[in-house]
A and B are shown apart, each in its own frame.
Chain A
Amino acid sequence: MLGPWCSPTGSPAPLSCETGCREGSWILVCRLLVPTQVSLLSMEEDIDTRKINNSFLRDHSYATEADIISTVEFNHTGELLATGDKGGRVVIFQREQESKNQVHRRGEYNVYSTFQSHEPEFDYLKSLEIEEKINKIRWLPQQNAAYFLLSTNDKTVKLWKVSERDKRPEGYNLKDEEGRLRDPATITTLRVPVLRPMDLMVEATPRRVFANAHTYHINSISVNSDYETYMSADDLRINLWNFEITNQSFNIVDIKPANMEELTEVITAAEFHPHHCNTFVYSSSKGTIRLCDMRASALCDRHTKFFEEPEDPSNRSFFSEIISSISDVKFSHSGRYIMTRDYLTVKVWDLNMENRPIETYQVHDYLRSKLCSLYENDCIFDKFECVWNGSDSVIMTGSYNNFFRMFDRNTKRDVTLEASRENSKPRAILKPRKVCVGGKRRKDEISVDSLDFSKKILHTAWHPSENIIAVAATNNLYIFQDKVN
């Protein structure tokens, strides 16, 4: 059913999630700009009917801040890919359907829907401006023809319904075709309105708004496996919501100290277990992860499990605490492991072992000696995310200079790739990159000092079942897929 999706020769490729880290195996599918005008790179060597591409291939060397992508998420089938940006917009891409004529167009994503999810707000009571930046998007599993997703900014979570309309009713009795009311006196016959086909229209409507439940900034949302509830986490509290009820939520974690002077850590990320609807984890700024069971008590302040790795005293510095702060936590698809990202490493933990991670991967250890400078330019506060592939065999996270890294847990191999405009030729094969940490620099290597710290890959996503990844680089969205020979 899945046609050949990466090889130009057309031979079907086995669907496998096993790859990932072979050199030379990732190719660029498309690069999507998410600005006010969306442009697509043509993937075809020959001229294609999508001629709009050429005219839109401007060099966006500058990006308005509102276009910076702030979250990326595939839906549960991988058919849709949602991005949120700093301007409060959500753009949903849909995977190109396979067609016999253009076999290698499959795998491309095109704009499906765009809508403004959040607007800037001003809290008059606190004299606070509330940013419209979309912090997280989470999809709900599809239960009917419409798609549902949750999007959140710092304070408010919204449930959006994205649906297609390809028919419209015609032949009303009381209204004419333009919608104006007809004079009843002119109606002499009655007819039954019929549905006639129309151009496909995708519309997004906000179905629920979950507001006023968070004093601090929301950093995570997570849909429960029961598909009836979800949680939202801010710096100090986690609330449990029912999708149907917007005017109240249950507080299930509260780490706010009675005396704020005693505050030593904040919640940085939270996620429900993929299968057990009573279990969730949350990470802290101190580098710890707590697993909680909602059956134990209504308020899960006491954890069921506590994951912490003892600090290596030889690495102590002014910035030890900052770099140990966990920026993202993700359950594996199996539910057996959790992965955490702190500033320099990615760690995989077994839920059954609390005293240390089972795997630690260095993302960019060469930055360890640059922490002071990174502190000055605020880069040390960057919150990188991490993702699992569909089979939990490969993990991926971002770095600077538009680099992103993949680690194969089985073969222990890793690769550094770059999402850059220079490599944006269609079907271009990504060349592995290497950072030179000292001594002699080889030809293809980049020295640490040449890294561009303004180009950071904070948000990535991996297709739930295929080797397709989405990488957000500032205002560009790159989609790569693994070319299996």
Chain B
Amino acid sequence: MEFKLEAHRIVSISLGKIYNSRVQRGGIKLHKNLLVSLVLRSARQVYLSDPCPGLYLAGHPGTPAPPQQLGEPAAGPPAGWGEPPPPAARSAWPEPEPQPERPTVPEALRTGDAETAAAVTGTGDALQGGEGVAAEAAWRRVEGQRETAAGGAGGPAGGSDVFPEGPRAARRPCGCPPGDEDTLSAAPRMDCCRTPRPAGDQPPATPPVCPRKRGAAGVGGGPAGCPAPGSTPLKKPRRNLEEQSGGAAAAAAEEEEEMETGNVANLISIFGSSFSGLLRKSPGGGREEAEGEESGPEATEPGQICCDKPVLRDINPWSTAIVAF
């Protein structure tokens, strides 16, 4: 369970970085975006492999307010951003517990949550200045591959060396002793990875009422609908963006939520020039389809496009994250 939340949060952060890289000076940095996409992939693997089916069903929040340029009106912030971080997460940089046998990531999970509370306003700007790519085009693409990717096998060609690691990462993102997929039951894993989580964590299965939930949609619905405590610390910087995204965009995005393999043209028309630099080649939706589309990235040699592909195929179609940005 905690994996899912943490993974969700990491995905949100990663998408934010990718999105913000669009506005960063100097153009999109291929190296950083590649690294972010790798993190996305790992997080998504964890998310998809964590056996908590309830999350998928819990309150499909509906409309993702799509990423907007900072000047545009917002549809409303997604759920997932409405809750304050758990009280235990307030302290920044808690002293690391002397648990040498504990895996490192749970430590990171806890401190990460705590840290975000403290560092978020600072990082909010950092995230603004981060890096990114068209998020919804990104998750359009991934939508089409989710089935293949979910199994952790194959996926986009060339990603195979990472995907086998994916499930492994999913199993042991926190460095828990490697166990067989079958034998690794939920209990011990949660044991070893739950400790860092404060007791005050609310179960994601019951999305708390939040006035700003409207715009959210979750991948698989669930966690987006329920404000992941881990993700909320970022609500402050995100809220500005959320409030600025357009209602029309939200409506259109809601449409797309239904469509598994998106219609990029819709998005393009909505976002217009926001993505002209990234999707200049084929606004007609060729991008999300063509797995092996070469003409696009090849012809549009510019550095800003070249990083789309590896990033796009990893972006999880989680609308909350997208809405936030």
A residues adjacent to B (C-beta < 8 A): 123, 125-131, 133, 154, 215-217, 219, 235-236, 256-266, 268, 285, 313-319, 321-322, 325, 366, 368-373, 375-378, 381, 437-439, 447-449
Report 21 cross-chain contacts, Cβ distance below 8 Å, ordered by A residue.
A131-B25, A131-B26, A133-B26, A215-B301, A258-B294, A259-B293, A261-B309, A264-B162, A266-B30, A318-B7, A318-B43, A318-B169, A318-B173, A321-B35, A325-B35, A371-B108, A376-B13, A376-B120, A377-B115, A378-B17, A438-B95
Does B59 interact with chain A (Cβ within 8 Å)? Answer: no
CB-CB contacts below 8 Å: B142-190 with A = 156-159, 161-162, 165, 168-169, 172-175, 178
Tell me the smallest distance from the CB of B110 to a CB of chain A, in Å: 9
- Scoring B96, B157, B309 by chain A CB atoms within 10 A of each residue's CB, the highest score goes to B96
Evaluate whether A439 and B98 lie within 8 angstroms (CB atoms) in the complex, with A129-B26, A130-B26, A316-B172 already known: yes
Within the assembled complex, what's the spacing in Å between the Cα atoms of A257 and B161? 15
A130: which B residues are within 8 A, CB to CB? 26-27
A131 to B312: give the CA distance in the assembly, Å. 25
Contacting residues, chain B, for A129 (C-beta < 8 A):
25-27
A105 to B120, CA, bound (A): 46
Cross-chain contact of A372 among B112, B156, B294 (Cβ < 8 A): B112
Of chain A, the residue at the smallest CB distance from B113 is A372
Min C-beta distance of A238 to chain B, whole Å: 15
Contact A128 B95 (CB under 8 A): no
A325 to B46, CA, bound (A): 22
Measured CB to CB, the closest approach of chain A to B193, in angstroms, equals 12
Chain B residues with CB under 8 Å of A263's CB are 34, 158, 306-307, 309-310
A356 to chain B, nearest CB (A): 20
**Interface stretch of the complex, out of B62-70, B122-130, B198-206:** B122-130
Count: A-B pairs, CB below 8 Å: 202
Q: How large is the interface on B (under 10, 10 to 19, 20 to 34, 35 or more residues)?
A: 35 or more
Partner of B108, one of A131, A366, A373: A373
**Per-residue contact bits, chain B 25-49, to A (CB 8 Å; 1 contact, 0 not):** 1110111101100110011001000
Per the bound structure, the CA–CA distance linking A260 and B291 in Å amounts to: 10
**What 6 new A-B contacts, CB under 8 Å, besides A260-B298, A372-B115, A376-B123?**
A129-B25, A235-B31, A261-B157, A372-B109, A372-B112, A438-B96
Interface of B is mostly: helix
Closest to B28 in A: A128
5 smallest CB-CB distances across A and B, nearest first, come from A262-B158, A372-B112, A449-B93, A373-B115, A372-B108
Give CA–CA (A420, B306) in the complex, Å: 40
Collect the chain B residues with CB atoms within 8 Å of residue A261's CB.
Answer: 156-159, 291-292, 297, 309-310, 312-313
**Which of A217, A258, A318, A449 sits near B30, CB closer than 8 Å?**
A217
Note all chain B residues with C-beta closer than 8 A to A449. Answer: 92-95
- A217 contact set on B, CB distance < 8 A: 26-27, 29-31, 303
Residues of B within 8 A of A216 (CB): 30, 303, 306
